[in-house]
Structure formats: structure tokens, C-alpha cells
Amino acid sequence: MKFKGADISPQQSDFKDTTNPYTDADVVLGLMNAYKMDMDACIGYNINKLGTSYNLKDSFRMLKIIKNRLSRDNIAIGLLFMPKTGTFKELPEPDKINKEWLENNLK
């Protein structure tokens, strides 16, 4: 894995050179494709890990609530990306996913 030990998810500092958008926003979200970052796993989900019962590969996206003046922030959520329809679905906890679940939900 290229980024071992480093948090490469979207951060507040990613907005530092954009002057006011981060400061002015009530809610700031970041979306990351862990597969393109060559990650084996992300927030507990298997992305491209050998010897596991499933791999989400390019169907995984991590949504991070970077800033939220209205509620909690610094929260990462696993999403299933369905490219045929261009939609997202929140993933269940990583231990509740298996190959059969993945095949049924990527239809």
C-alpha cells in the first residue's frame, strides 16, 4: 500500500488556498475513491485485499463529513457506488458484507 500510516482522506487543510469557501460553508463534504489510491482497505472495508471473501474495488467511495456546523463532523461513511445508474448506497458495517451481498447489491 502506497500511503501506509497516512490519512489521505479529505481534510480541512485541503481548502486552505481557496480563501473563504471552507470558512463560509456550514457543511463541507469530501468524496474519495480508495481503489484509485491503491488502498487495500479503507475504514474497515476490503477494497483490494487478497484472500478475503469480498473486494469492493472501484465500487467503494468514502464520504467524509469534514465540517458540519449543524451537527457532528469528521465522520467517514462507506458508500457503494453503482456506476450503471450513477447512484450511491450506504454500506452496512464491513463485517456484514460478503460476496453474495455484493453481487445482489451491484445489480
Query: And the C-alpha cell for 20?
Result: 473563504
Spatial CB neighbours of 13, under 8 Å, sequence gap ≥ 6: none
Encode the chain (107 residues) as per-residue pLDDT tens digits.
Answer: 455 666 777 777 776 666 677 777 889 999 999 999 999 999 999 999 988 889 999 999 999 999 999 999 999 999 999 988 899 999 999 999 998 999 898 87
pTM: 0.78
User: Residues 48, 9, 57, CA angle at the centre, nearest 5°?
Assistant: 20
Terminal CA-to-CA distance of the chain, rounded, Å?
A: 29
Burial class (CB in 10 A: 0-12, 13-18, 19+), 93: exposed
